Amino acid sequence: MSDPRSGFRSSASGLLLSTPAAPPSGLPQPGSVDLWLLRISDARDTGLDTAMLDADERQRAAGLAYAEDRIRFTAAHLTLRRLLGAYLDMLPQDIRYGREPCPCCGGPHGRPIVLGATCGLHFSLSHRGDLVLVGTAAAPIGVDVDLVPDPGGAAELAAMLHPAEQREIEALPPPRRPRALARLWTRKEAYLKGLGTGLGRDPATDYVGSKSPDGLLPPVGWTLLDIAVDRGYAAAVAVHGEVTVPSPRVKRLSGRDIRGALAGPPVKAAVEPRT
């Protein structure tokens, strides 16, 4: 079933969209994934409370040259803070971030963590264009959302892929290549975020491709799933271990979920009725 406004649909992976946002009912269980989606266009007129961000986030937002980029960054980080606050029963503005050691060099720029949190909550944030995507799990997780590139942009990205992935793209008819490339690239970035390296690890190193019967296997110990999102975008999630919960759903947030300062777990104050 599709949402005619958004293009939300069922995906081959079993992930479904257009589920109304409901408050986190507890920390994600082992083998499960929580996925949250916000449209920036649904939030731009809600009043983005930058006081809820920390000094580093405010500085990074202010350093962006274009107003659209500042709005996207601010909305994305407010969304993340409100969700983490709901999971951890903390005020969003009280959350302080740190980093695990980088697997490549050991430096302090690996996977993000909430300082002082004693539970095993892992999270990942991605934003591009009109979309913000957040993923949480009981194991290391990465998410990525991106626009489907034009043919020229697709060719540039394809050149950075694993050789087997490049061959898969080249074997497709030219009109199908941008969409297939976007799917591969978001899987790649989600996996590298889950590892904690980001693009500090050469994207050509690991195969995350098509899962065809005669193809290579994806990274051992990881589950990689495509996520159905709005038309013109691709998205993916990578989780360490097996995802055992059938048909994880992407929960759609509204602008109310990130509006203003609330005195409690934020998402609980903005539950939309199921239809």
> Which domains, from first to last, does the chain contain?
16-255 (3.90.470.20)
Handedness of CA 162, 166, 168, 174 (dihedral sign): positive
Q: According to the model, what pLDDT value does residue 19 have?
A: 57
Nearest Cα to Cα of residue 3 among 21, 13, 16, 18: 18
Q: According to the model, what pLDDT value does residue 224 have?
A: 93
pLDDT tens for 87-138 read: 999 999 999 999 998 888 888 888 999 999 888 899 999 999 999 999 999 9
Confidence band of 264 (pLDDT split at 50, 70, 90): very low
User: What is the amino acid identity at position 243?
Assistant: V
Q: According to the model, what pLDDT value does residue 213 have?
A: 58
User: What percent of the chain clears pLDDT 90, i.e. is strictly above it?
Assistant: 61
Which DSSP symbol is given to 102?
Answer: P
Q: According to the model, what pLDDT value does residue 21 have?
A: 59
Q: Tokens 């065809």 label which residue?
A: 212
pLDDT tens for 185-217 read: 999 999 999 999 998 899 999 999 866 656 677
Per DSSP bridges, beta strands 16-20 and 249-252 are parallel
pLDDT tens for 173-186 read: 999 999 999 999 99
- Which DSSP string do the residues of 163-221 spell out, in sequence order? HHHHHHHHTS-GGGHHHHHHHHHHHHHHHHHHHT-GGGS-TTSS------TTS----TT
Q: According to the model, what pLDDT value does residue 11 have?
A: 44
Mean pLDDT rounded to a whole number for the chain: 83
Q: What are phi and psi of 67, to 5 degrees?
A: -60, -40
* Greater model confidence, 255 or 153: 153
Is the pLDDT at 275 greater than 90? The verdict is: no
pTM attached to this predicted model? 0.86
User: What is the amino acid identity at position 87?
Assistant: Y
Coil, strand, or helix at residue 80? helix
Q: According to the model, what pLDDT value does residue 120 have?
A: 87
* Greater model confidence, 126 or 43: 126
Q: According to the model, what pLDDT value does residue 10 have?
A: 43
Q: Are 195 and 103 in contact (CB under 8 A)?
A: yes
Confidence band of 16 (pLDDT split at 50, 70, 90): very low
62 Cβ partners below 8 Å, 6+ apart? Answer: 70
pLDDT tens for 212-242 read: 656 677 889 999 999 999 999 999 999 999 9
Q: According to the model, what pLDDT value does residue 267 have?
A: 39
* Greater model confidence, 143 or 272: 143
Is the pLDDT at 265 greater than 80? The verdict is: no
Degrees, nearest 5: CA angle 117-262-98:
25
